[in-house]
Amino acid sequence: MPWLLVLFCLSLAAQPASYQKISPRQAAELFRSVDEITAFVSHETGLPIHSKVKRALVSREAMLENLRRNMSDDPDTQRLRHESETLIKLGLLPRGYSLEKGLLALLGEGVNGYYDEKTQTMNLLDWLPPAAQKPVMAHELTHALQDQNFDLRHWTLGEEWKRKDLNFADRIALEEAINARQAVLEGQGNLVMVDYMLAPTGQSVQDNPQVLALVRKRMYTGGAETPVFQAAPVVLREGMIFPYTSGMDFVMRVQQQRGVEASYGGLLRNPPAETLQIMAPQLYLHGQRAPGLRPADFEGLLGPQWERYDDGAVGALDLRVLLLQWGGDAALTSNWRGGYYAAFRRKNDAKAPLSVAMALRFATPEAAQSFDVVYRAYLKQRCEALKPDGEGYASAEGLLQSEVYGPLWMTTESFDAATAALLHSAMLAAAR
């Protein structure tokens, strides 16, 4: 679920409740401190400075306009709309919810500054008090040095994502790699920011790893200062905060195990490949990856009356979101070993519900069974007129059929019985 692709590198935190534009004198002083903070970041990360970082002060309106433009320029915008419908279908977004509007509202509330890789400019916001700006600058300037040393437009795999010749299996792997890399960028930014805040006390985050728990808590529970975030659907909250919190913990763990160089330049040279590695850094440190799940060739199966509407990876982060939304135990996430979904529409029937196929590989058959229990329990909440029908359920949205084969779990929703059977055996065959 790659909706974060439309964004650029942000610093995200609760903002002070009252806003007041900063004065020209304060702005000039802030800009003067850019070079000093860049030097701090370079010293902290070992990433050399290659050129003076461009800087700009932007208003809230200009920032939101820029975000909006970035979103609507993005070829992924249509994808975002289609994905909204899948998320609504799965109970992850309320009916009628606009992912674009939701994201903009969240960003308007939570963004403290951003580094624009297109223009290589650090943008500060003219309504944040100067005292709050300097740690934000440490975060943004980390992105500037990541960019100067590793060319973020290329490194974030955004260019790769635009390629037209990728098959579904390639895109699933790419989506996971993109999410993992974003967690590295934001995790590094946050860690440097915390170090910058600790510096006047003569300490670093290495002396004080418990500080990270406070930062994490602060991001999750901004309280009255972040009403939009607190009220946002789980999928947005978790997706938005993951790179900042889990990414920060991941970078810290690499630093504790392998040292500072490994946690900055080392991670940028040799990035993690999937969100499970971010959640379980020991996997990354031991060079271990999940086996993944080879997707079925749906095109060869479904006739010309079907349109492929949306598809993507179901990574460890997505599994965590599903578990949180569906009322399961989030600890099951560590059993993720691969997953994907694909959504289809019947071409000549605009009123037909979206049809979805999804498959997940777990570490053990028991984990797959546990997930199936969670899935079936939540069906009762999200589907009207649900009643048992053979192995699955009939509902107002048609037939829903989940199955477990050893460590594999799969479901089809809103396909006719014959098509569902075909899809199940194809997903099973592809997985083996």
What is the contact surface with Zn ion in residues (CB under 5 A)?
A: 9-11, 186, 189
Q: Which two tokens stand for residue 198?
A: 């600790």
Q: Give the CA count within 13 Å in the CB-facing half-sphere of 359.
A: 26
The whole-angstrom separation of Cα 431 and Cα 428 is 5
Q: Put residue 303 in one of left, alpha, beta given phi > 0 → left and psi -120 to 50 → alpha.
A: beta
C-beta closer to Zn ion: residue 135 or 295 = 135
Sheet of 398-405, strand order: 306-313, 336-346, 355-362, 408-413, 398-405, 392-395, 387-389
Q: Which is nearer to Zn ion, 148 or 333 (CB)?
A: 148
Q: Which is nearer to Zn ion, 142 or 395 (CB)?
A: 142
User: Residue 306 Cβ, how far from Zn ion at the closest point, in Å?
Assistant: 40
**Strand 111-116 and strand 306-313: pairing?**
unpaired
Dist CA 271 CA 293 (whole Å): 21
Minimum CB distance to Zn ion, residue 123 (Å):
11
Q: How far is the CB of 140 from Zn ion (least distance, A)?
A: 7
Q: Answer whether 293's CB lies under 8 Å from 360's CB.
A: yes
CA 385, CA 372: separation in Å to the nearest integer? Answer: 20
Comparison of 113 and 407: residue with beta carbon closer to Zn ion: 113
Nearest approach in angstroms of CB 29 to Zn ion is 23
Q: Which is nearer to Zn ion, 114 or 375 (CB)?
A: 114
CB of 91 to Zn ion, least distance (A): 30
End-to-end Cα distance, the chain = 24
d(CA 66, CA 285): 38
Nearer to Zn ion by C-beta: 34 or 420? 34
Which of these, 421, 409, 399, lies nearest to 337 by C-alpha position?
Answer: 409
β-bridge pairing 111-116 and 121-125: antiparallel
State which residue, 189 or 292, has the beta carbon closest to Zn ion: 189
User: Which residue, 85 or 116, has its beta carbon nearer to Zn ion?
Assistant: 116
> CB of residue 263 vs Zn ion: minimum separation in angstroms?
16
Nearer to Zn ion, 9 or 212 (CB): 9
For 45, residues 6+ apart whose C-beta sits below 8 A from its C-beta are 142, 145, 188, 192, 260, 264, 265
- Least CB distance to Zn ion at residue 244 (A): 8
Quote the least distance from Cβ 170 to Zn ion, whole Å.
27
Least distance in Å: CB of 190 to Zn ion? Answer: 8
Please identify, using beta-carbon distances, which residue of 189 and 407 lies nearer to Zn ion.
189
Minimum separation from the CB atom of position 11 to Zn ion (A): 5
Distance CA 93, CA 99 (A): 9
Beta strands in 206-354 (DSSP E): 306-313, 336-346
Sign of CA dihedral 409, 271, 111, 175: negative
How many other CB atoms sit within 10 Å of the CB of residue 26? 14
d(C-alpha 144, C-alpha 116), whole Å: 9
**Which residues make Cβ contacts (< 8 Å) with residue 32, sequence separation at least 6?**
none
Nearer to Zn ion, 151 or 329 (CB): 151
Cβ 352 to Zn ion, closest distance in Å?
41
Q: 340: closest CA among 81, 6, 86, 4?
A: 86
Nearest to 87 by CA among 12, 3, 28: 3
